[in-house]
Structure 1
Amino acid sequence: CPECKETLRTAPKEQPALAADGQVCPACGAALDENSLFCPECGLSIGGSAEMQNAGVKELSLCQNCGAKLTKGAAFCEKCGAPAIMAQQEARAADLHLCSRCGAKLPKNANRCERCGTPVPFGVSLGDKIAEWLLVTVLIIILFSIMFGLVSNIK
């Protein structure tokens, strides 16, 4: 508890039901089909790299209040007790490419999150799309101007 500094206790997690072949997700413990490429519960890539399999313990961001490292899924900073969600909201406000499920940074044209496998609805941000649209529009205007003689020759 951030106010009294007493260690909080939580109820023990229930053991997940095993799949027919006994496979469970290493991140969330959900039962997996033998043909699963991603966990149906958390989206983790199954059979992926060790980094992906350890996604549940990767650091998400820094606390905006004290600068301490926040772990994935933490509701509050373990050091000062500030809400962890602030860091995610501020990052989204800055138009960073972040996964909507786990908060991982995404490559610019990603189709899926490399950490958890969540599909990315748009590979580029809205700002990138607007900039691309403006560039294409300006180029079209210049080409039409040249074609129809609206731009005089520069000497």
Structure 2
Amino acid sequence: MKPSITYLHLLRHTPFFTSLSTEQLRWVIDHSREWETEAGSVIAKVDQTGASATDYWILLDGEWRVHYDGSTFPSRHAAPGKWFNIREAQGANCALITTEHSYVMRITEADMNTMLEKGFAFGHHLDDGRLYYGSMFHSNSQPLGPSGH
């Protein structure tokens, strides 16, 4: 992964951030880090340690897949799996890996909590993702698709 610049005009059109004001988008840019990745880049995995182990990852462009229990679960930037936090796996052995040239954003857990406290409109994205990851890690059924069914 290599550092990348986050541009406000592009972030404004990224599904996770479309409900934010210009002021909120600037706050996100000032409190996050964007990375450019190649296919096969490991973004997060269950055995990660340290402060970054609970960070939030947002897929800005491209595709990533959660590798879990012999299966892979792809997501693009408009799907419920467009964000990931290793806590969603609740200890399951998994890894989040890009499948093509992609751009991802890391937001620390503390900064995400601050954004939520400030009323940033992430709730429906986080809820959709939790439902998606819950179906992946805690049932024998396939994860819900983008439509939620």
Normalising by structure 2, we get a TM-score of 0.28
Structure in which a larger fraction of residues adopt strand = 2
Could you say which structure has the larger radius of gyration?
1
Q: Calculate the TM-score normalised by the size of structure 1.
A: 0.27
More helix by share: 2
